[in-house]
């Protein structure tokens, strides 16, 4: 049976929860099927700036505010979805390093063989300047494994790094990754993500049904399973 489709550009932060059954359940219950392009928020914004027009986006709240100012989404269109924290991951079964305090976190990074982090996602945009603030950028980056986008935990499994930094849900997207914990509270970056239909989308009914589905209790439970706090 053919499905009624709509296009979605979504931040990687929600991919694990979607793959865990949210998408399957939505399609089965509604007959609507999102065709998804996964990318960091910065990449999604760039593609929209270059003329791409999906029916719906899931990006950071700040990004949606910018899109609303440009008239690309309606000012009242945003539907709050999840709050995400940055965390540290290692290979499952590896010794868990100490990140309980800022000093312990710094020592863990300095003692790592290589720290993997993304340059394009929200975690990378925050983490690179954080290294500067902590005074350890040169030492960590001399051995760091930096990727333009994607999942930093993949570098644990290739042996290129022994520590991965990213949104906790993105770390969990790579099977065999164990979460050490979130960054210490004093240096944590909490990011809110929301969804919204684009103003010119002809499929707003399907988009609104999708965003409402993401706010149901059963969807919230899947988000929480991957370290995301429903809004």
pLDDT at 120: 78
**Other Cβ atoms within 10 Å of 30 Cβ, number:** 14
pLDDT at 149: 84
Report the alpha-carbon distance of residue 174 to residue 151 in Å, rounded: 7
* Residue appearing with tokens 């791409």: 52
Q: Where are the domains positioned within the chain? A: 4-83+192-230, 84-187
Q: Do domains 4-83+192-230 and 84-187 have the same CATH topology?
A: yes
What the block records as the tokens of 115 is: 């720290």
Q: What is the mean pLDDT of the chain?
A: 95
Calculate mean pLDDT across residues 51-72. Answer: 97
C-alpha closest to that of 122 among 163, 86, 78, 82: 86
3-state secondary structure the chain: CCCEEEEEEECHHHHHHHHHHHHHHHHHHHCEEEEEEECCHHHHHHHHHCCCCCCEEEEEHHHHHHHHHCCCECCCCCEEEEEEEEEEEEECCCCCCCCCCHHHHHHHHHHCCCEEEECCCHHHHHHHHHHHHHCCHHHHHCCCEEECCCCCCHHHHCCCCCEEEEEHHHHCCCCCEEEEEECCHHHCCEEEEEEEEECCCCCHHHHHHHHHHHCCHHHHHHHHHCCCEEC
Q: Would you place residue 152 in the very low, low, confident or very high pLDDT band (cuts 50, 70, 90)?
A: very high
Residue 177 pLDDT > 70 = yes
Q: Which fold has domain 4-83+192-230?
A: D-Maltodextrin-Binding Protein; domain 2 (3.40.190)
Q: Would you place residue 198 in the very low, low, confident or very high pLDDT band (cuts 50, 70, 90)?
A: very high
* Residue appearing with tokens 């079964």: 93
pLDDT at 212: 97
Q: Would you place residue 65 in the very low, low, confident or very high pLDDT band (cuts 50, 70, 90)?
A: very high
Calculate mean pLDDT across residues 50-78. Answer: 96
More confident residue, 1 or 82: 82
pLDDT 10s digits, 72-127: 999 899 999 999 999 999 999 999 999 999 999 999 999 999 999 998 778 888 99
Q: Would you place residue 29 in the very low, low, confident or very high pLDDT band (cuts 50, 70, 90)?
A: very high
Residue 1 pLDDT > 60 = no
Backbone angles phi, psi at 32, to 5 degrees: -95, 140
pLDDT at 121: 78
Residue 3 pLDDT > 90 = no
Q: Which fold has domain 84-187?
A: D-Maltodextrin-Binding Protein; domain 2 (3.40.190)
Report percent pLDDT > 90 for the chain.
92
Residue 2 pLDDT > 70 = no
Calculate mean pLDDT across residues 210-224. Answer: 97
């Amino acid at each position: 049976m053919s499905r009624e489709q709509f296009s979605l550009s979504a931040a990687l932060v929600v991919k694990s929860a979607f793959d865990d059954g949210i998408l399957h359940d939505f399609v089965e219950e509604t007959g609507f099927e999102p065709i998804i392009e996964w990318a960091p928020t910065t990449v999604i914004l760039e593609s929209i700036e270059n003329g791409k027009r999906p029916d719906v986006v899931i990006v950071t709240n700040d990004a949606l505010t910018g899109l609303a100012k440009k008239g690309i989404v309606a000012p009242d269109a945003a539907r709050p979805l999840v709050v995400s924290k940055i965390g540290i991951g290692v290979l499952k079964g590896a010794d868990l390093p100490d990140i309980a305090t800022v000093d312990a976190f710094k020592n863990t990074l300095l003692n790592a063989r290589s720290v993997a982090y993304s340059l394009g996602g929200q975690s990378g945009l925050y983490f690179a300047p954080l290294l500067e603030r902590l005074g350890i950028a040169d030492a960590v980056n001399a051995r760091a494994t930096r990727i333009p986008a994607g999942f930093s935990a993949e570098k644990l499994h290739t042996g290129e790094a022994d520590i991965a930094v990213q949104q906790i849900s993105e770390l969990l997207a790579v099977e065999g990754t164990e979460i050490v914990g979130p960054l210490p509270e004093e240096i944590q970056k909490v990011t809110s993500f929301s969804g919204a239909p684009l103003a010119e989308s002809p499929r707003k009914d399907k988009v609104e049904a999708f965003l409402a589905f993401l706010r149901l209790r059963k969807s919230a439970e899947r988000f929480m399973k991957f370290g995301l706090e429903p809004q």
